[in-house]
Structure 1
């Protein structure tokens, strides 16, 4: 009987990380225990626990074991070789056959040092094995492309060695525990990095769950939470919605401003999932227990949550700090009761150390020149307008950074401090203090530049105008649709025409639109109806739309860009303001000075192939 071909004997990675002081002896011991408990490879456990990153693993494999590391795409996979290995073996070992040349089969593995797996592969294929490393998520995604999605049972998200989410050790119960015990099962993980959380659950590919289970296993619940959170982060979602419906709970991600469905949870899963998120956010669950409900109950029909009435139901809030791929993040959790149970919104706050300058915002060349000229004047009010989620805060902080200078004192008053500047005095608004009162108090601190997060009413508007009139530079935002509309909006807040004309320097209005996916964009010819709605004639310009691909999750869009209006208060416009001019007269004066509207800026980006005409139409009012 012939022996299977010999395989290479790779070198383990534990010593590699110890020698380079990437991990401590204590962390290695924890990883070894975790590996034994959950049946993982050592590298998987190190990544799962947050002690090393996936990039660290790549370097370890390159330097310690000299394994090739590839970026796995569908074009590298031979269906013949993959099918020869078979779906059952491929999914069980989490490997993918790539090609077969001169008696050697190249196989992608998440752990090329797994000697037993290599020997089994060599025996099945009767060839020598050339192991290469590929990201586990890429292996699983390509397995689904080759063999299709598993049909019989929906697997709990696999333990791809992605960077951990948020530090938690889960003590597995001998039998499924009720939802209320999940909070008590969550305990701090010894030896983990400070202020970093890791969700540790049952990671084996053989663990399968179905939505029909009445009481899901706790470890499977944590794996499910880990799975959809990591998917959301990988897709760059800004919000994660868990919405209670009559039959189930739907999970949706807001990506590039649009919601897309990710998955659905049955009643039993929804209660456990909500309890897990409450535990991570350290939200007090006593109110649930006082009403005789398990934490997260109210979705199974036994503890129906009364629908809100009047001004709306109270919302419970908390937060979960964590690290994803070496990036410090925070999940802000807002929970509210609805007709069929509790619904959650998880808002992702990214601590981006790179603050955009004015030149990086995406302003047109003429708009940038106008804005910089306005900012060169001493004092005055600068406003940024647009709806929530339009990027106003990013623009405000770019303006603040532009005005920063060693001889100036800058103060920023905000409800939440998300962007910190080194030379700015950041002040968090007391929730029991009105913005106007807070601003008055800060004026005693003798600022040269003052930033207020938003004008929330007449009192705040008057305080800011008086501050700007005294020679200070003042930055703030207003929720109106456009730059010209900002002028009429201020008049409605009771700002006198003379004060408006004398104090206001510039208004920036903005919107965010989705970008065409560069991987699947294709030229289109807009029909006459669309051109009419957008107000332009056929001019031979090329326009593009995305057809939908894996990179954009079938949406045709990837990323967003900003559209801008920059309205500088010129002498002609100041004259109209002093006369108390209305919207039409103000718009006419602005156009005479070269004012570019949001729609015109959007059509410029559409002609450049950066966004679609439908996005421009949806985001901009017609001038």
Structure 2
């Protein structure tokens, strides 16, 4: 048997040939990139010629021990020639050993970068939709990347509209992480300081904030895109405290500001009354709610009922939440010392619009200006921070210097709350006890099919316990509104003109079958839309606030 057909012989030969082919590829690239004064074609021919010679020797030579050293000599000569040429042009840095070490470092760095990027589940984009440049593995910011990504992934999975990461009140070096889902806070496991602080710095990097600035307030935006391609825009706010830096993230879901009147959750009779109200272009309509109860969404829905191309429609807002077609928006900056709200309002009213939306009324001059403007046959929607319709009416009358003129131009007062909707997948049917029914002024003895939230696991088709895939075990998914609509009639106007107190006005309103917030909530409870404890939660007086009107109690409407 001839030695040249030995398997080991040919394995070594193939490895030798592949090694030289790899070196030839390096030479071709390196001459093009670094040795610009060398003849690129010549070096390619030299490399290919040596390769052909090596193959020829391995095939022709009958002895492996003769072919191997001969090819080592050919290859070594080629490498030495190129080495000397490289040093001639590049100096000390042209040594091939330096190139080899540098290549190994670059390979190691690429492996580490791939490892770091592999820990990121989401795609991060800047405010102008360009990809965020993630930190290199040796950057201090890289340490916070995995934990920042996990916070974002969990917030999206749990449908959180707000995320707060703040130093724990009790100290101890921990940070409290809280998700707000459908307006309700959910405490998450605390994060250690050495995990939370790098995560905050990484999120600041996403939003192009100054990472080194940890005391002054900063605000920025970035976007996340999940594997399904769904993009979410986030507003980042940071500020310093004595205990450490705090972070707030808000998901900018603009779709909630695009709801129509019939999508808000109004009862049928309330919807009819509001549509009749918005068919007119005169008078004042008050929308009074606590903060975060959907006031802006309702005011936008009312504003959309008017034809913006047939009417001059203007808005005055601290933070406009949506672009309304055909509507001129004016932004009020509370930090500007030279422009007060009443001054901005006055300048807008001088433009002689037909319809105005004022997101707030902070003082008596503004209220008087609105009343005078409405008396000219114009429509104004006014937002107030109030517990219910009676509290909003009382606040409006106190603001106006002429209460008779104020009530003469007043058309209606609307108040609302947001209640969470029971998850349709996992809500649990139950029969309320008699004490609860009596408390809610509901008929006792009737088999009322009601529902409550399920916060425990549910069973799949095979009987295994799982967390509800729709609500994540919260028991609620989404929100709707409950309303209180007070239409100002001549009888109420007369009572106000006669200095009637708010209780007397409430009695008159109840005679017109005005439905209270809690009564509307009970209707939605009876329909299986929400839970009764959810209704009672949102209509309860706010702690530390002013004593609200007695309209929060459950009283039957008078005929």
Q: TM-score range by the shorter chain?
A: 0.5 to 0.7
Distance in 2 separating the partners of 1:414 and 1:320: 21
Look at both structures and tell me which one has the larger radius of gyration over its CA atoms: 2
**1:232 matches 2:155:** yes
Residue 305 of structure 2 aligns to a residue in which SS?
Answer: helix
Q: Deviation of residue 586 (structure 1)?
A: 1.1
Matched-pair contact (CA < 8 Å) for 2:217–2:240 = no
Distance in 2 separating the partners of 1:507 and 1:197: 47
User: After superposition, where does 1:185-584 map in structure 2 within 5 Å?
Assistant: 194-198=128-132, 200=134, 218-245=141-168, 246-247=171-172, 248-284=174-210, 288=213, 295=214, 316-324=217-225, 329-352=232-255, 355-430=258-333, 431-432=335-336, 433-538=339-444, 539-548=446-455, 549-551=467-469, 552-584=471-503
Residue 373 of structure 2 aligns to a residue in which SS?
Answer: helix
Residue 387 of structure 2 aligns to a residue in which SS?
Answer: coil
Deviation digits for residues 402-440 of structure 1 (CA, Å, limit 9, x no counterpart):
112422111111122221011111222234122211111
In structure 2, relative to structure 1, the CA distance for the partners of 1:478 and 1:350 (3 Å cut) is same
Q: What's the TM-score, normalizing by structure 2?
A: 0.68
Matched-pair contact (CA < 8 Å) for 1:166–1:320 = no
Matched-pair contact (CA < 8 Å) for 1:165–1:229 = no
Matched-pair contact (CA < 8 Å) for 2:264–2:298 = yes
In structure 2, relative to structure 1, the CA distance for the partners of 1:413 and 1:564 (3 Å cut) is same
Residue 486 of structure 2 aligns to a residue in which SS?
Answer: strand
Deviation digits for residues 309-340 of structure 1 (CA, Å, limit 9, x no counterpart):
xxxxxx71302132545666443333344452
Query: Is the helix fraction higher in 1 or 2?
Result: 2
In structure 2, relative to structure 1, the CA distance for the partners of 1:197 and 1:258 (3 Å cut) is farther
Deviation digits for residues 254-304 of structure 1 (CA, Å, limit 9, x no counterpart):
001111123432121222222223333444466x5xxxxxx58xxxxxxxx
In structure 2, relative to structure 1, the CA distance for the partners of 1:342 and 1:410 (3 Å cut) is same
User: After superposition, where does 1:102-181 map in structure 2 within 5 Å?
Assistant: 159-160=120-121, 162=122, 164-167=123-126
Matched-pair contact (CA < 8 Å) for 1:517–1:546 = yes
Matched-pair contact (CA < 8 Å) for 1:379–1:468 = yes
Q: Deviation of residue 506 (structure 1)?
A: 1.3
Q: Deviation of residue 603 (structure 1)?
A: 0.6
Residue 185 of structure 2 aligns to a residue in which SS?
Answer: strand
Matched-pair contact (CA < 8 Å) for 2:320–2:331 = yes
RMSD between superposed Cα atoms in Å: 3.0
In structure 2, relative to structure 1, the CA distance for the partners of 1:428 and 1:364 (3 Å cut) is same
**1:598 matches 2:517:** yes
Q: Deviation of residue 480 (structure 1)?
A: 0.6
In structure 2, relative to structure 1, the CA distance for the partners of 1:568 and 1:609 (3 Å cut) is same
Residue 258 of structure 2 aligns to a residue in which SS?
Answer: coil
Matched-pair contact (CA < 8 Å) for 1:521–1:544 = yes
Distance in 2 separating the partners of 1:356 and 1:384: 16
Aligned residue-pair number: 414
Matched-pair contact (CA < 8 Å) for 1:319–1:330 = no
Q: Deviation of residue 564 (structure 1)?
A: 0.6
Q: Deviation of residue 393 (structure 1)?
A: 0.5
Q: Deviation of residue 447 (structure 1)?
A: 0.8
Residue 600 of structure 1 aligns to a residue in which SS?
Answer: helix
Q: What's the TM-score, normalizing by structure 1?
A: 0.61
Q: Which runs of 5+ in 2 are unaligned?
A: 1-108, 456-466, 540-551, 555-559
Q: Deviation of residue 577 (structure 1)?
A: 2.1
Moved more, 519-528 or 253-262: 519-528
In structure 2, relative to structure 1, the CA distance for the partners of 1:230 and 1:201 (3 Å cut) is farther
Residue 594 of structure 1 aligns to a residue in which SS?
Answer: coil
Residue 403 of structure 1 aligns to a residue in which SS?
Answer: coil
Residue 352 of structure 1 aligns to a residue in which SS?
Answer: helix
In structure 2, relative to structure 1, the CA distance for the partners of 1:335 and 1:194 (3 Å cut) is closer
User: Of the candidates 540, 553, 558, which is equivalent to residue 622 of structure 1?
Assistant: 553
